[in-house]
Each structure stands twice: as C-alpha cells, then as structure tokens.
Amino acid sequence: MNEYVLITGASRGIGKAIAKKLAENGYNLYLTCLHHGDELKEYCKELSQTYEVSCIPFVCDIGDYYDVAKMFDQIPLVNIVINNAGIAWLGLLTDMTPDEWDKVIRTNLSSLYNTSKCAVPIMLRLGGGRIVNISSVWGQVGASTEVAYSASKGGVNGFTRALAKELAPSNISVNAISCGVIDTDMNRSHLSEDDLEVLKNEIPAGRLGTPEEVADMTLKIITSPEYMTGQIISLDGGWI
C-alpha cells in the first residue's frame, strides 16, 4: 500500500493505537507529538520493523501554524490526516488563565486548521483524500468544569461539517469520531478512580471505551465510501 497517513498526538493513547492499527494494515505513517519525541522515535522504529511500513516521527507543536508548515516541508505526500492531538483542562472557567484557554483552543481546534491548510493542497494534487478528526461527546453536550475542552470539541464538529461541504467536490472526505470516555492516560490523569467508576455506571455499555476501539473505527472511516462525509460518528457505549 502506498498511502501515507499523518497522525497527530501519536506518542500515546488513541493516537498510538491508531498508528498501530494502520501500520498493521500496511499504511505508511507520519507521526507527531510535542513532549515525547524519544518515545515516538522508538515507536516508529518498532512499527517500521514489525509491519514493514515507512514511519517517520516529527516533534511538532501542532497548535503553531508555522511549526506545522515547517513539518510539511518534509512531507511530500499525504493521503490521509488523522487530527488526534488534544489536551484537557479541568476546573472552573473563572480560575482559568487566558494562556491556559489559548493553549487548549490552539491544540484541540486551531491544529485542524494548521494541518488541513497544509495537507489539502497535496490531496487536491492527488485527486482526493481523507481527514478524520477525533472529537468528544463534550463537543455535543458540554461538560461542567471543562468549558474550554467542550468549546474546542464543539468547534471540531463545526469545522468537520463545514470543511466536508467545501471539499466534497474534490473527493476529499472529512468526518469526526465523537468519543465517549476512553481509557487513556489523559483521562486517568484528570479523573479519579471514583470518578471513573461513576462514569462506568452511567454508560449503558457498563465500561470505558478503549483506544483500540477508536483505532478500529478510524480504519473503518478511511476505508468507507467517499460519499460518507461531514459525519460526526458517536463512539460512546450508548452514553449520549
């Protein structure tokens, strides 16, 4: 397979699981992260050796357009972009500093503009492409003490629907996965075990989702008919 996939936030959690799933299926990879460059480099080496695919790591601030553009100077070919990078901030809005607000919005939402602006011209030259954005149920219903995160993911959903309409005539599909509570390091660092147990009891499936399930859904989306675009696909165990 000669398709090349850019996955942001790929050093752990959902992004790492997506990278493994796509490598297993023969996709060549560009993986990005900001804070775990050594781990990402080792993971790329592991994927390359195990699955015999190309896997190139980039340390990049995905929320900084000029850093992303510099990265794309080294990416001549990309068929698929998985916008997964994201951060959370838990607390009252009145306790949040402007810099903390900006960091969440830049990482979770502005990053989609950054990667899309750079990748879409390449996809247009190739005659098509796929963009998958990792969103959250909080972008649909909002979460108390997670205003910035909820706002950013609501923006991801609006961005997905609008860009899908813009790019549909060019055979570029744009979809999003609206994740429920996924068992990741990020969620475990922000939520106590008691909080997680309460959430499990609220979720009809009776458990948290796994990064591997998000990876499976991502593969299904990028191999779906091109006619499927502009969709926000819930993966939340029946919760919302």
Query: Which residues have a catalytic role annotated?
Result: 149
Question: Shortest CA distance to 19 belongs to which of 94, 93, 9?
Answer: 9
Neighbours of 194 (CB within 10 A): 8
Cβ atoms within 10 Å of 236's Cβ, excluding its own = 19
Structure tokens belonging to residue 188: 């475990």
- Phi-psi category of 171—alpha, beta or left, where left has phi over 0 and alpha has psi -120 to 50? left
Exposure string (b/e) for 201-220, b if CB count within 10 Å is 16 or more?
eebeeeebbebebbbebbbe
Compute how many other C-beta atoms are within 10 angstroms of the C-beta atom of residue 86: 27
Q: Which of 3, 123, 126 minimizes the C-alpha distance to 53? A: 3
Helix (H, G, I), strand (E, B) or coil at 119: helix
DSSP-derived secondary structure for 129-179: EEEEEEEETHHHH--TT-HHHHHHHHHHHHHHHHHHHHHGGGTEEEEEEEE
Distance of alpha carbon 96 from alpha carbon 89, whole angstroms: 9
Q: Both tokens of residue 67?
A: 């850093």
